[in-house]
Homo-oligomer: A and B are copies of this chain.
């Protein structure tokens, strides 16, 4: 379902890219690959360069250092995951609906690409930006749900953190332990319940038997 395209795509407008831009993308793609395999902390600049068919020197022409490529990868994931979501969610009008969709998207990354999911988790812990970016989307949905009287919460930050913290651990569990598919539904139902949705509605809306 949720698919994280393997390379950093989007020629934006459409057509041409400068050579510089093209190289940058190749390095970014290579970095995502290597980091998925070894983890961001263990990723070695030299290997990223080789994978991108480029020398280390070129790498440093495009990124100031390792920290910067990590940030870039984190940024790419933030944007890329949101972009895809945004299209599909244009039609969704209730906070609940959007929340369910958002959580499921993240959980299915873990189901479909465990390595990628673990990388996202590592990046989220390392780069402050990522959680913040995602948190803004979550917050929007939380507010929508509250306005629609579907959610009863004890503070916006606490609500957002519930979603982020829980989903992250659930992703980890899915990636590492491969629980049965029903796990995702239980998680979503639990989140809804945590946001003040009644048990029955939560179960019903979570999209599966729990």
Contacts and interface: CB of A to CB of B under 8 A. Distances in A.
Interface of A: 41, 121, 125, 128, 152-155, 157-159, 161-162, 164-170, 173, 176, 179, 182-183, 185-187, 189-191, 193-196, 199, 202-203, 206, 210
Majority SS of interface residues in chain A?
helix
A169 B172 CA distance: 14
A74 to B, nearest CB: 16
A170 B165 contact: yes
Contacts of A169: 161, 164-166, 168
A158 to B, nearest CB: 4
B165 A186 contact: no
A194 B154 CA distance: 12
B166 A161 contact: yes
A190 B158 contact: yes
A173 B161 contact: yes
Given A165-B166, A165-B168, A157 B173 contact: yes
B210 A155 contact: yes
B183 A162 contact: no
Nearest to A124: B169
A196 B196 contact: no
A3 to B, nearest CB: 25
A190 B195 CA distance: 7
Given A169-B165, A196-B199, A189 B154 contact: yes
Given A165-B167, A169-B164, A196-B199, A190 B157 contact: no
